[in-house]
Amino acid sequence: MSFELELVALFATFFLNLPFGYWRKNTKKFSLEWFLSIHLPVPFVFLMRIFSRAPLTHIPIFFLVFFSGQFLGGKIWERVGYSKCLVVDVVRQWKGVF
């Protein structure tokens, strides 16, 4: 087991969930979009956990990091949300800076 590889998987899980949390915050609760924004990243997180060879006892850590990314993504939308897409809004912010 490689601690560094697991740490990379945890950071990737967090950053993967930021745009999905951003998207989730701008959807109607329990709608199809809301459901997809939560569940689409799950297979990727599962694969990252498998490839990093993290033990089963570390699943709660991945769970916590997953929902931390979702939560922070939603908070970012509350601050700067113009659309449902984080990438589009980041580009709009950068155009305003330069």
Per-residue confidence in pLDDT tens, the chain, 98 aa = 588 999 999 999 999 999 999 999 999 999 999 999 999 999 999 999 999 999 999 999 999 999 999 999 999 988 887 788 888 888 887 887 65
Q: Return the C-alpha torsion angle 93, 14, 37, 61, nearest 10.
A: -160
CA distance 56 to 15: 21
Domain boundaries of the chain, sorted by first residue: 3-97
Query: Half-sphere exposure (CA, 13 Å, Cβ side) for 35?
Result: 3
- Residue 24 pLDDT: 95
What angle, 0 to 180 degrees and rounded to 10, lies between the N-to-C axes of helices 3-25 and 42-51? 180
Instruction: Output b/e per residue, 1-12; b: 16+ Cβ within 10 A.
Output: eeeeebeebbeb
Q: Return the C-alpha torsion angle 83, 89, 91, 93, nearest 10.
A: 130
Query: Half-sphere exposure (CA, 13 Å, Cβ side) for 94?
Result: 6
